[in-house]
Amino acid sequence: STSQPEFDTVIKRRKTRPVKVANVTIGGGYPVVVQSMINEDTMDIDGSVAAIRRLHEIGCEIVRVTVPSVGHAKAVGEIKQKLRQTYQDVPLVADVHHNGMKIALEVAKYVDKVRINPGLYVFEKPRPDRTEFTQAEIDEIGEKIRETLEPLVVSLRDQGKAMRIGVNHGSLAERMLFTYGDTPEGMVESAIEFLRICESLDFRNLVISMKASRVPVMIAAYRLMAKRMDELGMDYPLHLGVTEAGDGEYGRIKSTAGIATLLADGIGDTIRVSLTEAPEKEIPVCYSILQALGLRKTMVEYVACPSCGRTLFNLEEVLHKVREATKHLTGLDIAVMGCIVNGPGEMADADYGYVGKQPGFISLYRGREEIKKVPESQGVEELINLIKADGRWVDP
């Protein structure tokens, strides 16, 4: 027998515990969850309800809202209620940016998950003289954090809700900066400190994030967090994101570089692409990343050659036409190839192929089998007929 090295072509995801956020589960082997955040003022109830609904309708499975005051927290209660009355219950996360326990406790009544930032729980005074923290001081600060956090943890635990410990590079507490600097190690230790407090209160409905705007820092922080958790026997899911990625093509590539690299390592159970654009623009990017990695299939997968001197038709134009005609057929793989010089295998075992045959003619393939040669002018129509004949067509 021939022995070949085995390369796994399916991403093996890190084993994590399932964390329920209303009717959506993060981790536990469930599909990677897509999230985004509205940018409406939370006090604008109708505007926020409309924005949440718009995002949810195009596939945003968990929506985050910012909650900077108790007034905003109460507004979230109205938003939740209005969503239920006029649309449906959408899993909501409240971003509590301040060391404002009152805000967090209020909003915990209404949302399904609360996000806190450990870097904002600061009890130490600034130390311009840079004298080190003694162990006694660190213990005392730890105790204060615990006292502050406990009511929120107990509330979320008792309601069966979730919490995200969202560490950000660039907002670490002073004592972490002293010991570790503004490094992935500091970010990880900051999260672990909070995790231990939650665990001591028997609360494990937790998701962790380690966001940074520099991709190499973000990748290092998540990898280190996953490693540290494995060492400590912790199995919390990770929420991936690159903060301040910007806009346009580079914003998308930067987000993808960070998020996809980790997903390919098996790290990450929920993602958010942060663009300086309308939040609706983030959702297709999330789904494209997941589809490209084979983690979720939510659209047609097009395989197309880059075209070259051998190409027998206008590939860009034909690919566009084929896509417009078939993009609603979730679950199919369709190849558009300029010629068949390198064989049907190059079509990556697509379900259907549209392949240049000779000038003015194309061939249609089902898998690797050539079905028929048709004039190029009828190519798209005949492709649709073939899909229909196979019973795999649905009207758009």
Stretch that binds ligand SF4, among 64-72, 200-208, 276-284, 308-316 (CB under 6 A): 308-316
Of the candidates 244, 295, 297, the one whose C-alpha atom is nearest the C-alpha of residue 273 is: 244
User: Minimum distance from CB of 36 to ligand SF4 (Å)?
Assistant: 37
Q: Is the dihedral of CA 236, 239, 242, 244 positive or negative?
A: negative
Of the candidates 132, 213, 207, 204, the one whose C-alpha atom is nearest the C-alpha of residue 174 is: 132
**Which residues are 92's β-sheet partners?**
63
Residue 61 vs 376, nearer CB to ligand SF4: 376
Stretch that binds ligand SF4, among 52-60, 159-167, 300-308, 375-383 (CB under 6 A): 300-308
Q: Does 341 bind ligand SF4 (CB under 6 A)?
A: yes
Q: Does 279 bind ligand SF4 (CB under 6 A)?
A: no
User: Minimum distance from CB of 322 to ligand SF4 (Å)?
Assistant: 15
CA separation (Å) from 77 to 22, 44, 45, 149? 15, 12, 10, 22
Stretch that binds ligand SF4, among 265-273, 316-324, 337-345, 376-384 (CB under 6 A): 337-345
339 labelled as ligand-binding?
yes
User: Minimum distance from CB of 166 to ligand SF4 (Å)?
Assistant: 45
Q: Write the DSSP assignment of 129-175 as a string of letters.
A: T-PPPPHHHHHHHHHHHHHHHHHHHHHHHHHT-EEEEEEETT---HH
Q: Does 345 bind ligand SF4 (CB under 6 A)?
A: no
Q: Does 273 bind ligand SF4 (CB under 6 A)?
A: no
Residue 274 vs 307, nearer CB to ligand SF4: 307
198 labelled as ligand-binding?
no
DSSP-derived pairing of the beta strands 270-271 and 301-304: unpaired
Per the CB < 8 A criterion, the answer to whether 259 and 240 are in contact is: yes
d(CA 144, CA 128): 22
**Cβ contacts of 220 within 8 Å, gap of 6 or more:** 184
Residue from the set 338, 344, 353, 379 that interacts with ligand SF4 by CB under 6 A: 338
Q: How far is CA 9 from the centre of its chain?
A: 21
User: Minimum distance from CB of 376 to ligand SF4 (Å)?
Assistant: 14
* Furthest CA-CA distance within the chain: 82
Q: Which residue number places its CB atom closest to ligand SF4? A: 338
Residue from the set 152, 234, 339, 350 that interacts with ligand SF4 by CB under 6 A: 339
Residue from the set 5, 233, 306, 391 that interacts with ligand SF4 by CB under 6 A: 306
User: Minimum distance from CB of 252 to ligand SF4 (Å)?
Assistant: 25
Per the CB < 8 A criterion, the answer to whether 209 and 166 are in contact is: yes
Q: Does 305 bind ligand SF4 (CB under 6 A)?
A: yes
Q: Does 310 bind ligand SF4 (CB under 6 A)?
A: yes
Q: Does 337 bind ligand SF4 (CB under 6 A)?
A: yes
In this structure, what are the phi and psi dihedrals at residue 187, rounded to the nearest 5 degrees? -65, -45
Q: Does 344 bind ligand SF4 (CB under 6 A)?
A: no
Q: Does 307 bind ligand SF4 (CB under 6 A)?
A: yes
User: Minimum distance from CB of 346 to ligand SF4 (Å)?
Assistant: 6
346 labelled as ligand-binding?
yes
**Nearest-10 crossing angle of helices 135-159, 184-200:** 60
User: Minimum distance from CB of 315 to ligand SF4 (Å)?
Assistant: 7
Number of residues engaging ligand SF4 in binding (CB under 6 A): 11
User: Minimum distance from CB of 291 to ligand SF4 (Å)?
Assistant: 22
d(CA 348, CA 333): 9
d(CA 216, CA 154): 36
308 labelled as ligand-binding?
yes
Q: Does 303 bind ligand SF4 (CB under 6 A)?
A: no
User: Minimum distance from CB of 207 to ligand SF4 (Å)?
Assistant: 44
CB neighbourhood size of 375 (10 A): 10
Residue 24 vs 305, nearer CB to ligand SF4: 305
First to last CA, the chain: 49
CA separation (Å) from 53 to 168, 216, 299? 28, 34, 21
Annotated binding site for [4Fe-4S] cluster: 305, 308, 339, 346
List contacts with ligand SF4 (CB under 6 A).
305-308, 310-311, 337-339, 341-342
